Structure 1
């Protein structure tokens, strides 16, 4: 099978094509694509120096400076890294910001090393434009919203449904005070790219009606794309009505069991437990004003005691002493109020499985 034209962006994203990003590290950090790997032509300092030279002396002088900065052993080391990537990912592509000089230079140096590797026409900018357009395309299509009190399994459902789109997964944040993960949240650009790639894959499968979890404008530190947010404000809503004990079990698993495991796996036993406890305390601290300081102090002490018992003997039962009032006295009243303002758009209610079956039938 021949390789696709490098302008066939849908094919690249549907097939999780490996992409070698030639931009400087700072550009990559600001946002890239799910299958991108940073193998920069220049460091941040080198790029800044070349950019200054370009402004002051023009393109030819900037190119000459670039060749002086990336030469000899430095050049050999970078070409070796690129060559290793190309050999490990023979079906991949490289790109820079616009598919210009950096891509052409990298491609030329690789040819000199015996490897013919294609670059993306239009570079990062063209890929990014394609993904932004995909988000707007999906926003114009029919959609449904799955709603329900905290712990209803909304995120689980959008991942189970063939036409579900996981905003929180793309944001790498669960959208609540306790919503962060062990590793940092994605940047706005990375969030949008991850979400758009989900969309590209589902559009490629012929899906035309999408299901989103009920969200506000922000998920942690990122903002839901405006076109999607606006469309969500008009979509039909299906509400999960699961009992408190079922929701408590989900919350215990998400906020306590999985987070403790992930902190220990990431930082080791001793430091992992310390950071896990800090994560829970920070989540409570963030909502102290809404809880009221007296109730906050009571719930915080219950939380701290539960962590100590969990660490000493593995017990999880003590966590109910703070999770239950967190649900019943804070999250449930707040979400019930928010949902009341959308009552005219609610078209179905049921338990988790009933809502899932109803949405799947649509």
Structure 2
């Protein structure tokens, strides 16, 4: 049976990664683009683990064989269809052990050429954690702006024009504030974030600089690497200023309009607001927020939160960065992106080519 290293995976022709771990393992972190064809369900894996602890490896292996045997034809058919006529199946489990070995053997017996990923997902994760600091450029352009200034929108405009944007919120599956997960679920795991960050940096192929948003070290469930934070702290800083009415309208479109009629929405807003209330000292401000919440006047809440919570807090957070700030005063997100583009040209920082490979 032929194996492939993580390094070779990124240069292989048409690799199709088949992750045979259980769904819960796959959900917690997987190689981007991998297809989950689990050898065992979460419940079956738990049963085998329990039996292993009680009766030993032989009994556990026998139970595993009984569970897997009826599934083999359908699993092989799924993998064959997913790989197509040109893809090379690369089978992967947690550590490159029994699960991936069994499935790769089944594939070879069925006449389908396959590879087994040496060291499994564990080796992949070790590899990307080592490579991320190596792929970071020394220079970074950091986009700042108070809540609602559309920093993510501006990033997407620049990304579409070929600038080396690294969208940390998208990778985290979270918008970065206490309200940041509303409508997005629980956000991505650290393993998923690291994999997406590595993939984007590898795609950019060590550009002369990157453009990122000025996020806190923690975004939802994830923590940014120290090396990334260091690059951002000493980067080129651009501060976006937009009229408060534009900011309120943007927050309303992003956080309220798509979800306000959902049965879970009010409870989620109340839960987030309760956390903020603990940090607000003014009884008058708290009373106003409670009044707006009771009336479900979420737009009214936004204005109060910006004025008495987010804006003062943001001014304090700016002190964490060193160097001068370039102020951009704009009326729209497109206007802000255009002004930033002009400033980048002044600094001789233009769009970059993207690497088709992943390593």
Alignment TM-score, normalising by the size of structure 2: 0.80
Post-superposition shift, 1:22? 1.8
Partners of 1:112 and 1:302 lie apart in 2 by 66
**What does residue 243 of structure 1 align with?**
243
- Deviations, residues 248-298 of structure 1 (Å, cap 9, x unaligned): 1211111112344xxxxxxxxxxx622011122222111002233542232
- Number of aligned residues: 325
Q: Which has the higher contact order (CA 8 A, sep 6+)?
A: 2
- Is the CA contact 1:159–1:165 (under 8 Å) kept in the aligned structure 2? no
- Partner of 2:230, secondary structure, is helix
The match for 2:323 among 345, 350, 353 is 345
- Is the CA contact 1:173–1:180 (under 8 Å) kept in the aligned structure 2? yes
Partners of 1:300 and 1:25 lie apart in 2 by 41
**What does residue 299 of structure 2 align with?**
320
Partners of 2:299 and 2:100 lie apart in 1 by 56
Normalized per residue, which structure has more helix?
1
Partners of 2:73 and 2:108 lie apart in 1 by 10
Partners of 1:113 and 1:50 lie apart in 2 by 30
- Is the CA contact 1:20–1:36 (under 8 Å) kept in the aligned structure 2? yes
Post-superposition shift, 1:136? 0.8
Could you say if the C-alpha distance between residues 319 and 332 of structure 1 is closer, same or farther in structure 2, counting changes exceeding 3 Å?
same
The match for 2:104 among 104, 107, 117 is 107
Partners of 1:357 and 1:8 lie apart in 2 by 41
Post-superposition shift, 1:327? 1.1
Task: Quote the RMSD (CA, aligned, Å).
Answer: 2.9
Unaligned runs of 5+ in 2: 331-335, 350-359
- Partner of 1:358, secondary structure, is helix
Partners of 1:10 and 1:158 lie apart in 2 by 27
Post-superposition shift, 1:82? 4.1
Q: Determine if the alignment matches structure 1 residue 129 to structure 2 residue 126.
A: yes
- Is the CA contact 1:94–1:103 (under 8 Å) kept in the aligned structure 2? yes
Alignment TM-score, normalising by the size of structure 1: 0.79
- 1:9-48 to 2 correspondences below 5 Å: 9-11=9-11, 18-42=16-40, 43-48=44-49
Post-superposition shift, 1:79? 4.4
The match for 1:355 among 325, 340, 346 is 340
- Is the CA contact 2:285–2:308 (under 8 Å) kept in the aligned structure 1? no
